[in-house]
Amino acid sequence: MTEPSPSPSAAPLLLLTRRGCCLCEGLEQKLRQLKLPLELRDVDAEPALQARYGLEVPVLLADGRELPRVSPRLSPEALRRWLQDKGVI
């Protein structure tokens, strides 16, 4: 059974990332496969984010709320279920 698509008016998820981060790239790819609204922000481009998160990327935020660290091994469908469990979609 196919999961319903998120509402087009849903607030985008914010993925804190950095250039060359394979975990960041993998999570971005899976989120895009789910066709979720997504914004990216490079922590190295903003000193405050670099100071706060350092090497702890990727970090996913929903409505300004930092979500628990997600396993990079989740399949896209498992990621969808994880996001549903967290009340994000």
Domain count, the chain: 1
Residues 6+ apart with CB under 8 A from 48: none
pLDDT of amino acid 46? 95
For the domain that residue 77 is a member of, what is the CATH number? Answer: 3.40.30.10
Please tell me the distance from the alpha carbon of residue 34 to that of residue 37, in angstroms, as a whole number.
Answer: 9
Does the predicted TM-score (pTM) go above 0.75?
yes
In a domain, 6, yes or no: no
Residue 3 pLDDT greater than 60, yes or no: no
pLDDT of amino acid 2? 46
pLDDT of amino acid 33? 96
Q: Containing domain of residue 58, as a range?
A: 13-85
In a domain, 4, yes or no: no
pLDDT of amino acid 10? 66
29-75 pLDDT, tens digit per residue, is 999 999 999 999 999 999 999 999 999 999 999 999 999 999 988 99
